[in-house]
Amino acid sequence: MEALGVLSKALEGTERARGHLYGFHQTTGEADRMLAEAVRMLREAGHGGHADLVERELVGRDVLPDMWTYQVVEAYDRTYYEAFVGVEAQVRGDLAAGRRHLAEARMRRARRTVRHENGER
């Protein structure tokens, strides 16, 4: 049970990492869209050369070689996350009949207080 708990925590870590990747994807996309506004404003202010530089060098630029952020997320999902989820589910299925959060369920049973008004346990 302890090993399953550690495996579950490791999966939770990959879930958080995946969430950060989605945040990275969304924040980078927002910054790229803001570049278009900066280009427009530079042009309106008479700085066409600088607008051209920003547009040429930054707008729509790959964040990694040959990759936009959505491709980074997809690669993470495909090469790591999906494998992690599958292996964790297989181990949990084999050793715990697919049940999740065994340690937490045990703790809940041990620490749960009795409700006085309605007899709930």
Look over the chain and give the mean of its residue pLDDT values, rounded to a whole number: 90
Indicate the pLDDT class of residue 117, thresholds 50, 70 and 90. low
Asked if residue 59 is part of any domain, the answer here is: yes
Top-confidence residue, 53 or 98: 53
Asked if residue 119 is part of any domain, the answer here is: no
Asked if residue 117 is part of any domain, the answer here is: no
Indicate the pLDDT class of residue 79, thresholds 50, 70 and 90. very high
Q: CA end-to-end span of the chain, whole Å?
A: 25
Asked if residue 51 is part of any domain, the answer here is: yes
pLDDT > 70? residue 77: yes
pLDDT for position 95: 86
Top-confidence residue, 24 or 114: 24
pLDDT > 90? residue 96: no
Is 116 exposed, middle or buried (CB count within 10 Å of its CB: 0-12, 13-18, 19+)? exposed
**Distances 119 to 71, 105, 110 between C-alpha atoms, Å:** 54, 21, 17
* pTM, full prediction: 0.76
Total number of domains constituting the chain: 1
pLDDT > 80? residue 16: yes
Asked if residue 120 is part of any domain, the answer here is: no
Mean pLDDT, range 72-89, rounded to an integer: 97
Asked if residue 118 is part of any domain, the answer here is: no
Domain residues for 17? 2-111
Asked if residue 52 is part of any domain, the answer here is: yes
